[in-house]
Amino acid sequence: MASITLIARLYEHIEPLDRGTRYEDPLDAALRERGLGEVTGGGSQLTDSGEIEFADVEINVTNLDDALPVIVSTLEASGAPTGTELIGNAGVLRRLGLHQSVAVYLDGATLPDEVYADLDFDQLVDDLTTAAGEGSYHGHWQGPTETGLFFFGPDAEAMFTRIEALLRALPIGQNARVAVRASRGQDGERTVRMPRH
């Protein structure tokens, strides 16, 4: 029986090693265990600024009807964001994903020097993760003028409410740009700029 190649396109900034651990390895194990196929590769699409726009996971399956529910349930259990697409030869077969996101872009260029000098980055990540929810932190990106921190959970607005109070209190939270993404696309996203103090 000929195999069918699918692409799972995950709209999140996730580094290749993390992509393997979070999505590729569990999906490969689930498909192989049932004799339905395997994960054969992956890749990332970058924006002009170097942030990962989306990550692809390449999948080969032998029976699409049997494999589809396994792929969907495994990716969603692994934290796939809303708007994740399962793509075949004819285009998008299915949209999936249960996790909404809050992306916190810290100002890395215009705050006073002492704000950066006094920053304990690991502690900041821990504090924001505690506020956003256990297991919510999916990684970060270092850009030329901003550092992005990415959090995922079932309710982006609730996560933002908890994160906002912390950002307003922290020196490094000044002028941060926060993207609250309930779903993929313009309609499901709003951006909030934190005040300076």
Q: What mean pLDDT comes out for the span 146-156?
A: 96
Contact 149, 13 (CB under 8 A): no
pTM: 0.90
In the chain, CATH 3.30.70.260 covers 4-96
Helix (H, G, I), strand (E, B) or coil at 119: coil
Q: pLDDT per residue over 55-90, tens digit each?
A: 999 999 999 999 999 999 999 999 999 999 999 999
- CATH architecture of the domain 100-193 equals 2-Layer Sandwich (3.30)
Residue with tokens 């003028």: 145
Task: Give me the residue label for tokens 């309710």.
Answer: 155
Q: What is the pLDDT of residue 183?
A: 83
The yes-or-no verdict on residue 5 having pLDDT over 90 is yes
Q: For all residues of the chain together, what is the average pLDDT?
A: 95
pLDDT at 1 over 70: no
In angstroms, the CA 161 to CA 142 distance is 24
Q: What is the pLDDT of residues 15-28, one digit of tens each?
A: 999 999 999 999 99
CATH number belonging to domain 4-96: 3.30.70.260
The backbone torsions φ and ψ at residue 179, rounded to the nearest 5 degrees and listed phi first, read -100, 115
